[in-house]
Structure 1
Amino acid sequence: MNRFFVKHEFMLMRKSKKNNMFIVFLAALVFSYCFIVLPNQETIDTIDVDELKVLVSDTKASQESREARGATGIIQFIGMSAYAQDEYKNKVRNAMVHAFENEEYTRYLRFKILNIDSMAFIEDKTLFPKSPFPHKDRSNLLQQMNLRYDSYLTSDLPVSNEIIEQKTALQVLSNLLLSPMIYLIFFCAIYFGSDVLVRDRKNPTVLQGIPLSWYRLINLKTFVAFSYTMLVLLALFIAGMTALTFQNGFGYFDIQIPVLVPGSEVDFMDSEMISIGKFLLLAIGFIPILVYLFIRLNMVLSLVLKNEWLVLLVSSLILFSERLYFTRTLRDIFGVEISHFPQTYFEFGKVITGAKNFLVNLETITYSKGYLLFIISIVIIEFLLVLIARIVNKQRFYQTN
């Protein structure tokens, strides 16, 4: 009976127009990102060769004008030669262009590091324009960029432009797990699980005749919703990684990424490097836990609300609740430290890299504490589900008047 019921429920989810339309939307989103957004995406790692060539040409013309005027000496006010500095920078930029065009990416990266103007980078107002501490954010970004570049040069891995621009499949995946896109993963669980219990109220006589206890029926529906959600996410993951690998290569698990760790001084954080493999291992472990948590939460809400759209709305509000109150300098809510709220750990990628702690300066926001809070949350939800399932029994739930 259990196997028959699971098969029946899975077929209902597979044939659901609501689910299929959402899957089509998700697939379109994945392929649009892979084939349209990512190829045209420019970041701090991107080089515009044509723009750099123009800069080299303009600087060369300016240098020739200085030579003709004899303005190549030291400026007494600053004690340095602007001509010599510009000449050095122009040679570096010119070498960058030639190395890039010749696909000598290790050599190109060495010159790219030399071309970084730290002061100009930190004063670039286009970076973190809404940050409460933009200089601190820019300094941190500059440090992390330099650490990444140094790790590429010191590792035994072949350096490519795709690796430098973080466009290989593994690098894109790790960056997506650091972005708000992770909310879409858990919204899938909420969306697919919002109606698995409530839809039966349309056919109460059929389900009431099934020789399964009420709690076992809820558990089997949870298993089906969880399995279905994970299979959809896995299929989208494989499709996206295949498309990215076809375009930019798969990447390497040994590629290093910077993470922030508590420093030796108060309100200060140091940087260290971990492999993408380790980051993904820690990050992906959160996904099944949170998918299960939201599906069980949907079961509780279904028993109470008895309406799939209300279940979808309330679960979504819980999922996005942190976005309503969180700021990068907020440490507590009503005297309770934010590290004690499960919502703080929904962006688990930022928790692992320490980005969640940056500016907040709380050493208590850790991925191990996130796991613990999610397990406690699941235990609480399970207790509520058992309690409410006894109050709202099968007969009462299917009663339509």
Structure 2
Amino acid sequence: MFRTVFLETFKKIYRNKKNRLIFLLAFIGIILYSFLYLPTVNNPLTIDADELALETESAYGMKESRLAEGDIAVNSFTGVDTYSLAKYDYENNFMFYDALQKGDISRLFELKTTDYVPVFTVDALNDYLERKHDGQFLDMDFERAVINNNLFALSEINHPTTHEFNGKTGIQQLYSFFLNYGPLILLFITVFVASEVLVDDRKHHTLKAGQPLGWRKYIFYQSVSVFILIATGIAFFLMFFFLLISLLYGFGDMSLLTTHYAYTEGYRASEENFFTSPVIDLILESLILTAVLLYLFIRLNAVLSLIFRHDVIVMIAGFAIIAFNRLYSGGGEDSFLGLGAHLFPQNYFEFGNILSGRQNFLTLSNNFTFETGIMVLLITIIIIEIILGLLAGWMTRQKFVRQVD
């Protein structure tokens, strides 16, 4: 019987022109991102070779002019030895420039993890953070620490490449997808596709006459079918995305570590509060959370379908639930309705903030973890299952299909 429901659900999803359009747009989006946007992306700590050459030449000229004039003593007013300072800048800038010219990425990583970094590189990072976060100082502090710590992690791998430095390899981009807007994109697609499946039965209810399957079991079979179909589609697109990026920029080092946050003590942005984890572990956790969230929203879609019985309203309600945290406050709170915010599922929809530790950084806690998220989401699923069971008893099949618009 499950096979019958599965095939029926597959036909509904496949024959829906809006679903085919959304998957076509997803395919085109991956192509455009890979070939048009990603080539323009660079690490915020990327050194401008032309500017570095000018800085190096300027420092050399200053050094030589001070030496020619014999002015190599410490200035009694400023306490600065202009010659030694210019010589120091020249020698360090030249080492950076030489590493860039030779394409020695390992040497570049080694140099950038020392105390000396060209001044204009620091300024470029500050400008990048200001543009991205627009005065949100906590977010700026968090990302600055992550960028600098990731640099140390990159310097530990064997034979790093420029693509790894810029975060463009397949494994880095897959992780970045989950870390940023990926979870929201997947949930919006899930709601978009699933919103019409159960409600569509109202348009063809005569086809259900005499079907030897209980109403609750039918809804469950349909939900599982939708989950399998959407999960398969998402898996296909993620694999396509990963393979395309890998062909263009390399697979990436599986031993790569990424920076995360867990508060221990002292200043919020202290180095002691940041740690590293294997990128592959975070991707696996992301896939698990994605699967749990997909099932949660598909069952929630069934609840909304029984209540509203109209696909557009169901879709809008689903979108509003996904975006609730952003609509409510934008995230970052440590409490909600007088209780710890980590106990509410909406804080785990954008789970990249959880896995990266950003939510703990903003709340100065260690409450938001992968394990807590799984527990909260599973409890939410149980609650939804109970509500759905009660609602299906009240909204019978006959009442549900009545008064087709």
Q: Same fold (TM over 0.5)?
A: yes
What residue is the counterpart of 1:144 in the other structure? 146
What residue is the counterpart of 1:167 in the other structure? 168
CA drift at 1:265: 3.9
User: 5 Å matches for 1:2-401?
Assistant: 2-114=2-114, 115-116=116-117, 121=122, 124=126, 126-128=128-130, 130=133, 134=137, 137-155=139-157, 157-265=158-266, 270-327=273-330, 330-400=333-403
| CA displacement, residues 327-350 of structure 1 (integer Å, 9 cap, x when unaligned) | 565322342322222111112122
Instruction: Please list every run of 5 or more consecutive structure 2 residues that lacks an aligned counterpart in the other structure.
Output: none
Partner secondary structure for residue 264 of structure 1:
coil
1: distance between equivalents of 2:320 and 2:66? 64
CA drift at 1:354: 1.1
Q: Aligned letter for 1:275?
A: P
1: distance between equivalents of 2:12 and 2:337? 45
1: distance between equivalents of 2:164 and 2:219? 47
The question of whether the paired residues in 1 share the 8 Å contact of 2:258 and 2:276 is answered with yes
| C-alpha distance 329-372 of structure 1, shift in aligned 2 (>3 A) | closer
2: distance between equivalents of 1:294 and 1:196? 13
Q: Aligned letter for 2:228?
A: S
1: distance between equivalents of 2:4 and 2:332? 52
1: distance between equivalents of 2:10 and 2:261? 43
| C-alpha distance 387-140 of structure 1, shift in aligned 2 (>3 A) | closer
| CA displacement, residues 222-243 of structure 1 (integer Å, 9 cap, x when unaligned) | 1221111111111111111111
2: distance between equivalents of 1:133 and 1:391? 48
| C-alpha distance 108-53 of structure 1, shift in aligned 2 (>3 A) | same
Q: Aligned letter for 1:324?
A: L
Partner secondary structure for residue 43 of structure 1:
coil
CA drift at 1:120: 8.2
CA drift at 1:251: 0.8
Instruction: Please list every run of 5 or more consecutive structure 1 residues that lacks an aligned counterpart in the other structure.
Output: none
| CA displacement, residues 162-208 of structure 1 (integer Å, 9 cap, x when unaligned) | 11111111111112211123200111111110000111211110123
2: distance between equivalents of 1:146 and 1:329? 23
The question of whether the paired residues in 2 share the 8 Å contact of 1:268 and 1:361 is answered with no
1: distance between equivalents of 2:343 and 2:87? 55
Q: Aligned letter for 1:313?
A: I
The question of whether the paired residues in 2 share the 8 Å contact of 1:258 and 1:274 is answered with yes
2: distance between equivalents of 1:118 and 1:49? 14
Give the fraction of aligned pairs with identical amino acids, expressed as a percent.
24
Q: TM-score, normalised by structure 1?
A: 0.91
CA drift at 1:268: 6.7
Tell me the number of residue pairs that the alignment of Structure 1 and Structure 2 aligns.
399
2: distance between equivalents of 1:276 and 1:26? 25
| C-alpha distance 77-233 of structure 1, shift in aligned 2 (>3 A) | farther
Structure 1 residues 251-260 or 8-17, which shifts more?
A: 8-17
2: distance between equivalents of 1:8 and 1:109? 56
